[in-house]
Structure 1
Amino acid sequence: MNIALPDWSFSPEQAIALQQELRSQVIVTDQLGKVRYVAGVDVGFEAEGTITRAAVAVLDVDTLQVIDLAIARRPTTFPYIPGLLSFREIPAVVDALEKLTVLPDLILCDGQGTAHPRRFGIACHLGLIINLPTIGVAKSLLVGKHADLADEKGHHQPLIHKGETIGVALRTRVGTKPVYISPGHRISLNTAISYVMRCTTKYRLPETTRHAHKLASGPAIDAIAVLPIPPDQLSLF
């Protein structure tokens, strides 16, 4: 994957203006072909936040076996501002994606898609840059409200903000908090829910972002030398 990242020098005001400009380009209908490989993307930080560490895990969508992994590090150049995380995280994510040998057909991002005050979370921004279908899978609520969920795996409720459905709160595991699902790019909300559930086993997070999270936020490690890594060994990271 060879990604041409545009100039990435933004003030917070410029970042908000760019989100407002690009939001109209986000596609929230299904424009994805056959999905064979699905990836999870997550970002962590090292050295008291001065180094951004991005991780990508590519899985076979049918077996959920990990078939490719990549990690990339960059100096952190943008401050932590809720709603503007893509400007802090995407450069390292792009570096990690460029290291892959198996290219995904669909990417699940740890973060928001359209469930965002300007309908342009990191999943939307990344999807536009790389022109691939993306889904936002967030562990916490950024904006919107939803009705109470039944304590039943797969139950979901619309996430409403300013009278608009921007995603769903989805129960992926009984007895745990929901995750917040929204389209990123080139995928509808219903299809996004379907793929998140397809990638979810016994844990709260889908296997895609769960593996990526371990690599992004676990003990500091160098690039993965041997692939694939059996799933039972991923606990080492």
Structure 2
Amino acid sequence: MVWPRSAEEAEKVQEDLRGLVRAEGDGREPRLVAGLDVAYGDDLIAAAVTVLDASSLEVVESSVVVDRPVFPYVPGLFAFRELPALLDALRALETVPDLLVCDGHGLAHPRRFGLACHLGILTGVPSMGVGKTFLVGEHVEPGRERGSWTPLVHEGETVGRTVRTQDGIRPVYVSSGHLIDLPAAARRVLELSPSYRLPETTRSADRLSRSALREASG
């Protein structure tokens, strides 16, 4: 695949591909769930994928790729910095996950095509985004109890949910990527977050990416 080299080219890719997104699923329960995260150094990125058993939340396989980003740092276009290394990490897996959980956004994006959408389209695997902060939209704070949520709305459209994964802890921002609907994505993030704010998929991939970056940086 030829990757765009400018912001204008990247935005056109997003515009061209977003019509392929299907924010709906088949209702099947995932058996293997993958977390994807990227750690940044001065001139390196470490892209990690960890595959967890959906029932036990134990890591069954992992892969990490350290590379130099080929695209500049542009808000709304982070996917083009991260995707090449993430796709290489996914290809290195022996298992095929049933769901990709990205540290980022899906439809909760200015052009409705964040990293989770892009990964879902390129791989054909259901995907969703779980952001630590929101990129676009407005919301009111959900209740303080675990499981409380409010809609994340941008330009009159519901693009995600603000979900409280632990009592009294800051919420996360959940959005569909591809082949999963928003209620299912919100339900999955709670299943994957039994003890901490962030899902275990993100936590495990974050640890792996940071460790690989430290090792590569000496």
Confirm or deny a common fold (TM above 0.5): yes
Gaps of 5+ in 2: none
Alpha-carbon shift at residue 34 of structure 1 (Å): 4.4
CA pair 32-19 structure 1, distance change in 2 beyond 3 A: farther
Q: Equivalents in 1 of 2:115, 2:44: separation in Å?
A: 19
Write the deviation string for residues 129-179 of structure 1: whole angstroms up to 9, x where unpaired: 001000001111100011121111111100000000000011111232111
Gaps of 5+ in 1: 1-5, 223-237
Determine the structure 2 residue equivalent to 1:194: 187
Matched, 1:15 2:7: no
Segment of structure 1 superposing worse, 143-152 or 212-221: 212-221
Q: Equivalents in 2 of 1:158, 1:212: separation in Å?
A: 27
Alpha-carbon shift at residue 31 of structure 1 (Å): 3.8
Sequence identity (%): 45
Alpha-carbon shift at residue 39 of structure 1 (Å): 0.6
Determine the structure 1 residue equivalent to 2:62: 69
How many matched pairs? 215
Pick aligned residue for 2:32 from 31, 37, 40: 37
Q: Equivalents in 1 of 2:8, 2:210: separation in Å?
A: 29
Alpha-carbon shift at residue 214 of structure 1 (Å): 1.1
RMSD over equivalenced CA pairs, Å? 1.3
C-alpha contact (below 8 Å) 1:31/1:133 kept by paired residues? no
Determine the structure 2 residue equivalent to 1:167: 160
Alpha-carbon shift at residue 37 of structure 1 (Å): 0.3
Matched, 1:185 2:210: no
Alpha-carbon shift at residue 9 of structure 1 (Å): 3.3
C-alpha contact (below 8 Å) 1:113/1:183 kept by paired residues? yes
Determine the structure 1 residue equivalent to 2:199: 206
Deviating above 3 A after TM superposition, structure 1's stretches of 4 or more consecutive aligned residues are 31-34
Secondary structure in 2 matching 1:220: helix
Q: Kindly provide the amino acid, as one letter, of the partner of residue 61 in structure 2.
A: D
Q: Equivalents in 1 of 2:62, 2:110: separation in Å?
A: 32
Determine the structure 2 residue equivalent to 1:27: 22
Determine the structure 2 residue equivalent to 1:102: 95
Q: Kindly provide the amino acid, as one letter, of the partner of residue 53 in structure 2.
A: D
Alpha-carbon shift at residue 204 of structure 1 (Å): 0.6
Q: Equivalents in 2 of 1:177, 1:214: separation in Å?
A: 21
Secondary structure in 1 matching 2:105: coil
C-alpha contact (below 8 Å) 2:162/2:171 kept by paired residues? yes
Pick aligned residue for 2:214 from 216, 220, 228: 220
Q: Equivalents in 1 of 2:144, 2:133: separation in Å?
A: 18
Pick aligned residue for 2:110 from 117, 123, 136: 117
Q: Equivalents in 1 of 2:171, 2:28: separation in Å?
A: 28
